[in-house]
Amino acid sequence: MTMSAEPAALASLLKPIRGRLVAAVACQAVASLLSVAPFVAVAELGRVLLADGPVDHHKAWTVTIVGAATLLARLLFLLGASVVSHFAETDLQLFLRRDLVDRLGRVPLGWFGGRNSASVKKTVQDDVQAMHHLVAHSLLELTAAVIVPLATLGYLFSVEWKLALFTMIPLLLGVGLFGRTGAAFKENLPALDAAMGDINGAAVEFVNGIAVVKTFGQARRAHRRFTDAADRFSDFFRSWVGSLVRPRALSEIVLSPTTMLFTVLAAGGLLVTHGWMDRADLVPFALLGVGLTAPLLTISYAEEEIRAAQAAAERVHALLLTPELPLPAHPVTPGAGPVSFEAVDFSYDGAQVVLHDLDLTLEPGTTTALVGPSGAGKSTVAALLPRFWDPDSGALRIAGVDLRDIAPAELYERVSFVFQDVRLLRDTVRANLALARPQATAAELEAAARRAQIHDRITALPRGYDSVVGEDARLSGGEAQRLSIARALLADAPLIVLDEATAYADPESEAAVQDALAELSAGKTLLVIAHRLTTVVDADQIVVLDGGTVAERGTHAELLALGGTYARMWEAHQRAGSWQPGGAVPAGTVSTAEQEAVR
């Protein structure tokens, strides 16, 4: 999003509290005007006391009372502005977080696959919080920074316009210097981001690859890359800051109270000695002129906070505009029947086609295995079935009903997943199991765990089913996999999407996982993403994908007899399985492409 679009994003997010923000700014504007009044009262009192002739006591007391009253009124308006803005900011955070969570609940599940949890957390938590200072403080501070100088200058011009013109000289010089500093700052921001990216990338590379670089004796070289990046960043930062120091320091000096006081006294003394102004008129300038520059410094210091809030608003606004998963206006509940992919085309980015004209049928109670090289589209086919994404063209149907006509809750009751990469919540084992069916009884949870061969391991934990994953429940990969299978058993969905669940298991765990999978798949319709061909030789249907289309399909025996892609993959798999560490690899045994195809 461009810089010009950032304010529009911020304005859109602030719309629910716009009325209260206007009220808060109005209160702050009145308070800012009233903040000048006590100083004006003191100045006017000085003019009354220094005037020629007898002192006008009535006027002196009137000025004093008015000054005290405006001071009290200012405090009341300041309190009102602060209370209104803070309550508005609290409501804004509530509105935004509710809207964000609601939107996240309605985006396609595949959207999360392209993002890590940290980036989502940053938007929902950190970016919303980043707007706190803008709404609760910066808007009020900027209002005061504009109103106070204008009101002060208006009063000073009414007292003596010639000295008021002299007073504006430091203001104009300071504004010019600040503008120069700000322009230089913005001009170098891309270079700063690039330099920070280099040093962060070098740091992450060094930390993540430390085991590898030490193993190969390259720790010194990797460390040197990091230190070189740090040195480049240091040189750039020194040069950049050095270019900003002089105009920044000059602007601070020009706008300092000392400079303003010197300007007022020098110019005022000149005008008084020449008889061009009354000496009593010097008092208001000495009192109010000194404080004219402070609001400009406030604007300068708030610039970074405003920029950060605008950038945060842009990210929040972008997330709120994320396309939702279309929901059916009149949901249809499908009956029992096959799952069919009909002329399905799909692309993640709209440019590179991942699936093209895909036709596939999963008959009830059968096992269909998807095999093929990396990038053939196996995982994409599996992701379309639970509507992680919708196809660009064609249709997916359950018993003749388009998935887009089925309510998401109904669809998820019909499809369960067992993935290679198991994700467990940092919660009790019981809560992780109950995700599949929150109303399940303790006996049903235990029965599912027994069927998944994980009950004995759970009871051996310090608190059994009440042990917390990641705290007193430390599970191996195979154990976590069996826990996820128990969860799928509890869901009892008729359709199972299975990503090679034993890929990372040791032999003992693999046997237990295979037993659990056999229990899970009994009587179900299975779609299996196969990474090892030996695990799918008994599948009712093996589908070979290549380039997003079906290259071959049939049983294991039929595909071997065909002598095509699957047969070559099987031959390569057999040869790879016969290789032993330390033994010679026969010439032409397994090519890189073949290895990739059978993984």
pLDDT higher than 80, residue 69? yes
- Greatest mean pLDDT among 277-291, 447-461, 468-482, 562-576 lies in 447-461
* pLDDT higher than threshold 90 for residue 79: yes
The chain-wide mean pLDDT, for the chain, equals: 79
pLDDT in tens, 211-232: 444 444 445 555 666 677 777 7
Residue 474 pLDDT greater than 90, yes or no: no
Mean pLDDT of 272-299: 80
Contacts of 408 (CB under 8 A, 6+ apart): 325, 327, 387
pLDDT in the model for residue 597: 44
More confident residue, 98 or 350: 98
Q: Which of 164-173, 537-546, 571-580 has the lowest mean pLDDT?
A: 571-580
Q: What value does the mean pLDDT take over residues 159-167?
A: 88
Q: Residue 300 — pLDDT band, cuts 50, 70, 90?
A: low
How would residue 512 be classed by pLDDT, with cut points 50, 70 and 90? low
**Which pLDDT score, from 0 to 100, does residue 577 have?**
60
Across 406-548, the runs of DSSP E, i.e. the strands, are 415-418, 495-499, 525-529, 541-546
pLDDT at 207: 58
Mean pLDDT for the stretch of residues 66-95: 89
Backbone φ, ψ for residue 533 (5° rounding)? -65, -30
What pLDDT is recorded for position 135? 82
pLDDT (0 to 100) of residue 249: 78
Please tell me which residue, 163 or 502, carries the higher pLDDT value: 163
Among residues 315, 312, 317, 300, the alpha carbon closest in space to that of 138 is found at 300
Query: Which comes out higher in pLDDT, residue 581 or 452?
Result: 452
* Least-confidence region, from 140-149, 153-162, 180-189, 258-267: 180-189
At residue 323, the pLDDT reads 80
Q: Which has more confidence, 206 or 539?
A: 539
Looking at per-residue confidence, does 113 or 566 come out higher? 566
User: What digits encode the pLDDT tens for the residues 358-391?
Assistant: 999 999 888 899 998 888 888 888 888 888 888 9
pLDDT value at residue 173: 84
Q: What is the pLDDT of residue 2?
A: 42
- In the chain the domains, ranked by start, together with CATH numbers, are 1-159+296-325 (1.20.1560.10), 339-426+483-598 (3.40.50.300)
Percent of the chain whose predicted confidence (pLDDT) is above 70: 82
Partners of 499 in beta bridges? 529
Give the model's pLDDT for residue 345.
93
Residue whose token pair is 């923000």: 21
Identify the pLDDT of residue 580.
53
Q: What is the pLDDT of residue 587?
A: 46
pLDDT recorded at residue 586: 47
Residue 588, pLDDT score: 45
Residue with more model confidence, 300 or 419: 419
Give the pLDDT of residue 77: 93
**What pLDDT, on the 0 to 100 scale, is given for residue 396?**
92
Gap between the Cα atoms of 192 and 171, Å rounded:
30
Is 509 or 540 the better-scoring residue by pLDDT?
Answer: 540
Position 508 scores a pLDDT of 56
Most confident of 46-55, 143-152, 251-260, 285-294: 143-152
Only one residue has tokens 């396609």, namely 108
Side chain identity at 94, as an amino acid letter? L
Integer Cα distance of 472 and 501 in angstroms: 24
Q: Closest by alpha carbon to 293, among 244, 247, 248, 251? A: 251
Q: Which of 210, 206, 212, 208 is nearest to 230 (CA)?
A: 206
Q: Please report, to the nearest 10 degrees, the dihedral formed by the alpha carbons of residues 17, 23, 24, 30 taken in order.
A: 170
What pLDDT shows up at residue 598? 44
pLDDT tens, position by position, 126-138: 788 878 777 888 8
Q: Is the pLDDT of residue 26 over 90?
A: yes
| Confidence category of residue 561, pLDDT binned at 50, 70, 90 | very high
* Best CA proximity match to 545, nearest among 309, 359, 347: 359
CA distance linking residue 404 with residue 393, whole number of Å? 12
Stated pTM of the model = 0.61
In angstroms, rounded to a whole number, what is the distance separating the alpha carbons of residues 259 and 4?
36
Q: Which of 272, 289, 288 is nearest to 280 (CA)?
A: 272
Q: Which range scores top for mean pLDDT: 134-143, 194-203, 388-397, 473-482? A: 388-397
Q: With contact defined as beta carbons under 8 Å apart, do 13 and 317 qualify?
A: yes
Tally Cβ neighbours within 10 Å of residue 78.
19
Per-residue CA distances from 110 to 58, 114, 318, 380 (Å): 78, 7, 17, 10
Q: Determine which of 190-204, 297-311, 562-576, 582-596 has the lowest per-residue pLDDT on average.
A: 582-596
